Structure 1
């Protein structure tokens, strides 16, 4: 494993492990990206995936918000995408203006599984991702921890069957209800790839990890417990064993984010994760009651749309959120990612408000 500079700010790692902190740590989903003018300057006319796969570009984009909001953000998250696992499995994905990622040949029938690699060599196929992480960690020079991440199996199945984001989820639902055996085969293969990808990110230098089940809310409770939760549990159970095999001795905090699955909090608290990230549909005090005395750190959950409000409103919403969660066993974040149209000055105000109200 590479050698890196000592960490100067370990606040988020301590909070994730349930240790007492002097201030609630802060990071933002999609904190690096299109709302920053410097992002567009560096990205230029490169394709999104080209930017992800260029270690120099990806590392620069990752660190931009750490530089812009110096001292206000407690973690960097590698500039990448949840769809790298499908890419490793052989899918061609194009970023289309106005549509986002579009799969050239999505899965529409179980026979289509023969067209993809269900056992990809993740360490080779995604070698570019590890290079980006190592370079970013070197450039950060210990300023803040570096987070890695992966898309969860159900969310990736949605993209692999729909071919793009969806409102009806026709094909994804057809897979789980008409072809459940094939769906589980695909979910298991994806799960195995996720475990390996997360493990290799740690070897490359990631210090904390998040699993994004972004389409969790499209499943009802029973179907979530059938097609999502078992694989989320597998990731949490298998990852530490794989890390041990790879010679990693540090405890790596693991976060799960099941967007929209409000009914799942109790189950996710028992799924083996250090942190559970919440979207903005949760009442912080109710979430705290559900967690109870379990050693689980909560993350979230401000509605990103609050950034379109007045300065006074932003500060008020931050204060209410932090008062609801409390400072301990808590990581401040949005309930989902930033929008391309947001004003960086509003983001700065949000971060400053978090420091104001998030300290003991």
Structure 2
């Protein structure tokens, strides 16, 4: 399906951005950089704006969500915005009893533990999202209008991560109830995963159609899985979720090629780039790429050159600064960033990011300085070994 003619990729507004070129496997002269969780807790302007507003209410207020998305772009000069939202938003909008509890995260009104629970949950019709996601589409449209040539990234939670929250009833260290259901009742598990894939896939598609220039699927809890469990019980649902945006394409105008003797411009059909990121998923990287992603995000546990080796040397990578080092003395952080950049050069292209989200107590000035540092040294400049 072609994107609307006014989409920022279709008009060319964001098609040549550093981030998009890197996601497509072309290394730009300057390494693009953005941060997971760059919008939110670490910014005083965010905390001021959020006073008196619950998290999910903020996500569903188009004006507030847009402003929060734009705050780190203005402050840090990052190469992309990422929509301020939450992975449980589509669950909330489809009718699931879920809230974000401060200091805990998503908490469900009822855990989904049995086949009957799964049947009750999956009776909720994901197609209601076509209407109820209107605030998200409005937030994206407002944000894209302000960002101009800076791409907006849409995001969603991967089916397993959503399923883990649903089965556990909230955050968990080992997701043992979810893993038990996976094996104890494979039929119920398959139904649950198909439903979460449909819900989160619709959420991701709505953001892209509204103007997001890239999409990222987060599998925050996939690191709890063995390779076999991921491949058998999770990867098919992740592929189904990504399929909701995989068909979205646009035409990129090119220059005459040697094969074109008419002198007319050629055109290239491109898909909206998709990033897949997971926490603790070093053993799953190749399979995570195989579900249909263009780019693989790597957390801080695996060096990028090793991640590139595991991916076969053909996949753009994103990552993977250790968030803990954001609070270290600048020389320590600088050396770490240089090392990450050097290892990232082994891959076809590299987008610098954290190996997880921005910690709440991070000094925003450190992030601003880091972006400036990366932009100044450039992707082709020599770095310390």
The runs of at least 4 consecutive aligned structure 1 residues that moved more than 6 Å come to none
Deviations 1:195-223 (A, max 9, x none): 22222211111110000011010111111
Distance verdict in 2 for CA 1:345–1:154, change over 3 Å: same
Contact 1:88 1:120 in 2 (8 A): no
The Cα shift of 1:56 comes to 0.3
Query: What corresponds to 1:110 in structure 2?
Result: 115
Secondary structure in 2 matching 1:50: helix
1:101, distance to aligned residue in structure 2 (A): 1.9
Match of 2:63 among 56, 60, 63: 56
Alignment CA distance shift 1:238-1:32 (3 Å): closer
Residue 324 (1) aligns with residue 333 (2): no
Q: How does 1:290-301 map to 2 (within 5 A)?
A: 290-294=310-314, 296-301=315-320
Question: SS of the residue aligned with 2:271?
Answer: coil
Cα distance in 2 for residues equivalent to 1:272 and 1:313:
36
Larger radius of gyration: 2
- The counterpart of 2:182, out of the listed 169, 176, 181, is 176
Match 2:154 to one of 148, 151, 168: 148
In structure 2, what is the Cα distance between the partners aligned to 1:261 and 1:118? 31
Which position in structure 2 is the counterpart of 1:18?
25
- Change in 2 beyond 3 A, CA 1:101/1:235: closer
Residue 4 of structure 1, CA deviation: 6.2
CA distance, structure 2, for counterparts of residue 238 and residue 46 of structure 1 = 31
Match of 2:238 among 214, 232, 241: 232
Give yes or no for the alignment of 1:203 onto 2:223. Answer: no
Alignment of 1:1-360 (within 5 A): 1=4, 3=6, 7=13, 10-70=17-77, 73-116=78-121, 117-121=123-127, 122-140=129-147, 142-241=148-247, 243=248, 251-294=271-314, 296-326=315-345, 328-360=348-380
Post-superposition Cα deviations, 1:79-138, rounded to whole Å, max 9, x if no partner, equal 000112322332111222222221112212121134334432221122211111111111
In 2, are the aligned partners of 1:256 and 1:276 still within 8 Å (CA)?
A: yes
Alpha-carbon contact 1:322-1:357 (below 8 Å) kept: no
- Taking the aligned partners of 1:125 and 1:207, their CA distance within structure 2 comes to 22
SS of 1:228's equivalent in the other structure is helix
Q: Comparing 148-157 with 279-288, which one deviates more in the overlay?
A: 279-288
The CA distance in 2 between the partners of 1:236 and 1:174, in whole Å, is: 25
Structure 2 length normalisation: TM-score?
0.86
Q: If the length of structure 1 is used for normalisation, what is the TM-score?
A: 0.92
In the alignment, which residue of structure 1 is the partner of 2:261? none
**Range 296-305 or range 83-92, more displaced:** 83-92
Size of the alignment, in residue pairs? 351
Q: For structure 1, which segment, 321-330 or 19-28, has the greater mean C-alpha deviation from structure 2 after superposition?
A: 321-330
Cα distance change of structure 1 residues 80 and 325 upon mapping to structure 2, 3 Å threshold: same
Q: Root-mean-square deviation (CA), in Å?
A: 1.9
- What's the secondary structure of 1:106's corresponding residue? coil
Shift of residue 2 of structure 1? 8.0
Structure 1 gaps of 5+ residues are none
| Higher mean C-alpha displacement, 304-313 vs 279-288 | 279-288
Q: Deviations over 1:305-331 (max 9, x none)?
A: 111100111111000110111185111
